[in-house]
Structure 1
Amino acid sequence: MRLRREQVVATALRLLSDVGLDALTMRRLGQELNVQAATLYWHIKNKEELLDAMAEAMLAGCAAGVPEELSGMERAADVAERLRGALLAHRDGARVFAGTYVAHDNTLRVSDTLVGALRDGGLSPRSAAWGCWSIVYYVIGFTLEEQALMVRPGTDPEKADPARFRETVERGAYPHLAAALPHLVSTDHEARFRYGLQLLLKGLKAELEGTPRAEAPTSATRAGDKRRASRRSR
């Protein structure tokens, strides 16, 4: 059967779940597909292109079916939740997605839906664009840390051990960390994610509410403007 690019990407995602990003190499992928390097490189030029293709595949359907009855800001939150879920669905998904700049339909659809939601929420094109980037960066960063805390076979269990962190803080001179310790080691990732996301959205709302609205000029104002323009032209 002739090898297809879609088959290469699907196999790479499956291999990612088995071995993780660090062990995912083009050579390992070729062995998994039982093809020579020349055959593999015909479809994927290098690992950078492979990661781009994997990132694009991970977001398939991510922006589909966002409820239209939600407000703009609520839809933005929904898209952010969906993006996090798409990255969490794959081992090291956030690491794969981070640093890629994919200009294909799945990725562009997520960005377009998010920008559209923010614009529907009343934001200007610039605020919607930069707000979109801020939300995406937050999702990637949060999910990177979230996946880094997952203990998998072959990894050091102490790396993500909250008890070790707690012990270090309590016996050191970190009074503020000690006071906030129960919240710092909280494993309620859902609540923590939504807290940070709402802070971002509230900040965008505050920017919107703090923007002075341009008042429609009255007839008297227009007449005054004409008189001033006439004097300047003399």
Structure 2
Amino acid sequence: MGNRLDRDQVVGTALELLNDVGLEGLTLRRIGKELDVQAPALYWHFKNKQDLLDAMATEMLRRMNALQEREQEAEGGSGTGTWQETLAGSHRTLRRVLLAYRDGAKVYSGTRFTDTSYAIPMERFLAPLVRDGFTPGEAARAFYTVYCFTIGYVIEEQSAADDPGRGVKGIDVAERAERLAEFPLAAAAGAELFGDADAGFEAGVAAIVAGIAATRERGRKVN
């Protein structure tokens, strides 16, 4: 196993296995068994599990970028949407990609990309904000704020991997409401916090984007 194609094969196999065994069960030994090689052979390409996770996150990013480009082409778009649309749309796609893999958000967070392929979507996502008057630093902070929300939200979603039908964190909202009957506000919060995961995500992103817009407007008035 001494060429780049083999490295890519290991990463692809690891991403496939992730859905079966989860992050905790994903070991170099388990990947080696799937590829019918001894685990030490994989150390030719990856010095440890973190090194592999970095490569997996990079491949997930590449796939997300390819998906966004295909969707943009299919819609006949030119990437000239508003900064609000760009912030929401890019993270909507990120969530979809992360949800395609068990523990996808945990794999993606805290890793370091292995090449500069991340710069391609970053340029595309930040451009509409800069065109609208954000400084590069302000654009980066706005993007990173929505990114952190998305990662955290998906980690919470995927904590119910063994029973995804029960909603965010695997909580049965009706059962929770009964259990908290003497705490009406806490009981009522369940439907919003642990019910429709898609609606919850959209509401969160909308609130953050609106907050960024309001903060910018307030700053303009002060200046």
Identify the TM-score tier after normalising by the shorter chain: 0.7 to 0.9
Pick closer, same or farther for the CA change 1:124–1:143 going to 2, 3 Å: same
2:82 is aligned with 1:74: no
- Given the two structures, how large is their TM-score scaled by the length of structure 2? 0.82
2:76 is aligned with 1:40: no
Contact 1:77 / 1:197 at 8 angstroms: preserved in 2? yes
Partner of 1:209: 217
CA distance in 1, matches of 2:114, 2:138: 21
Select which of 121, 126, 135 maps to 1:115.
Answer: 126
Report the AA paired with residue 210 of structure 1.
R
Based on CA coordinates, which of the two structures has the bigger radius of gyration? 1
Partner of 2:14: 12
Q: How many residues align?
A: 208
* Structure 1 residues without counterparts, runs of 5 or longer: 216-234
Partner of 1:104: 115
Cα offsets for 1:41-91 (capped at 9, x unmatched) = 001111001111111111224234344242122122111111111101111
Report the AA paired with residue 29 of structure 1.
I
CA distance in 1, matches of 2:98, 2:117: 13
Report the AA paired with residue 162 of structure 1.
V
CA distance in 2, matches of 1:214, 1:168: 49
Contact 2:61 / 2:118 at 8 angstroms: preserved in 1? yes
Partner of 2:104: 93
Pick closer, same or farther for the CA change 1:138–1:184 going to 2, 3 Å: closer
Contact 2:80 / 2:128 at 8 angstroms: preserved in 1? no
Select which of 163, 176, 182 maps to 2:185.
Answer: 176
- Given the two structures, how large is their TM-score scaled by the length of structure 1? 0.78
1:214 deviation in Å? Answer: 10
1:131 deviation in Å? Answer: 1.2
Q: Does the residue aligned with 1:101 lie in a helix, a strand or coil?
A: coil
Report the AA paired with residue 23 of structure 2.
L
Contact 2:192 / 2:200 at 8 angstroms: preserved in 1? no
1:2 deviation in Å? Answer: 6.3
Identity of aligned residues (%): 38
- Structure with bigger helix share is 2
Contact 2:55 / 2:114 at 8 angstroms: preserved in 1? no
Select which of 50, 53, 59 maps to 1:51.
Answer: 53
2:136 is aligned with 1:125: yes
1:160 deviation in Å? Answer: 3.4
* Structure 2 residues without counterparts, runs of 5 or longer: none
Partner of 1:221: none
Partner of 2:29: 27
